[in-house]
């Protein structure tokens, strides 16, 4: 049986410190996840909730390819995180060139970053926002999603040229960022 939550007294609220995290009721849908779900529905996205996780999975068709992305929420840390996963893993022999390409792409990037697992060659692009006691607005969600998708779409063809066509990472980045 669920117990009704009681509001903290004024004296209790005054004692809280900036490092305390809000308590999450395990019987209620997490607030950040709910905000993301509402936004996805309002924008008519096709998505699926990941079983047992505060995450949604979506398949994306961009100008430069098809990939899968995930939105995840960390309710305790109050973070929305989005990863777009490059569909093919980088072969071991091409990982140094791919790492150079991704490092050059990351340099000066204001929002988000590329990551590569040097052990298995997985590449992904990450964007996130921390709401830190505030509200996760539809505009914040829109920016996390749009920056993520547009950035991967912008760099994916170049990454593929470096990985599979053995193009020069520096020249390829220069072409993309003209």
- Domains, the chain: 26-176 (3.30.1460.70)
Q: Model pTM greater than 0.85?
A: no
What is the sign of the dihedral through the CA atoms of 152, 153, 158 and 160?
Answer: positive
Buried b (16+ CB within 10 A) or exposed e, 52-90: eebbbebebeeeebebebbbbbeeeebbbbbbbbbeeeb
Taking the C-alpha atoms of residue 178 and residue 97, their distance in angstroms, rounded to an integer, is 20
Please give the pLDDT value at position 30. 79
The pLDDT score that the predictor gives to residue 109 is: 96
Q: Residue 12 has what pLDDT?
A: 36
pLDDT at 26: 47
If residue 33 lies in a helix (H) or strand (E), which one and from where to where?
Answer: helix 31-42
Q: Tell me what pLDDT residue 45 has.
A: 96
pLDDT of residue 133: 85
Total Cβ atoms within 10 A of residue 45: 14
The pLDDT value recorded for residue 28 is 56
Nearest to 72 by CA among 36, 42, 125: 36
Cα distances from 68 to residues 21, 64, 123, 137, 174, in angstroms, run 31, 13, 12, 24, 27
Instruction: Show pLDDT as tens, one digit a residue, over the chain (178 residues).
Output: 333 333 333 333 333 334 444 454 444 557 999 999 999 999 999 999 999 999 999 999 999 999 999 999 999 999 999 999 999 999 999 999 999 999 999 999 999 999 999 999 999 999 999 999 889 999 999 999 999 999 999 999 999 999 998 899 999 999 999 9
């Amino acid at each position: 049986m669920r117990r009704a939550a009681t509001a903290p007294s004024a004296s209790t609220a005054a004692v809280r410190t900036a490092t305390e995290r809000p308590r999450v009721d395990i019987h209620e849908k997490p607030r950040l996840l709910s905000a993301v779900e509402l936004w996805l529905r309002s924008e008519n996205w096709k998505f699926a909730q990941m079983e047992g996780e505060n995450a949604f999975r979506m398949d994306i068709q961009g100008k430069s390819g098809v990939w899968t992305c995930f939105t995840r929420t960390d309710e305790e840390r109050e973070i929305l995180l989005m990863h777009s996963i490059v569909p093919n893993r980088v072969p071991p022999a091409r990982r140094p060139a791919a790492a150079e390409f991704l490092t050059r792409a990351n340099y000066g990037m204001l929002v988000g970053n590329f990551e590569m697992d040097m052990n298995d060659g997985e590449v992904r692009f990450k964007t996130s926002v921390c709401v830190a006691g505030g509200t996760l607005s539809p505009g914040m969600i829109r920016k996390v999603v749009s920056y993520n998708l547009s950035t991967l779409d912008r760099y994916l063809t170049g990454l593929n040229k470096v990985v599979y066509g053995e193009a020069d990472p520096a020249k390829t980045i220069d072409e993309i960022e003209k």
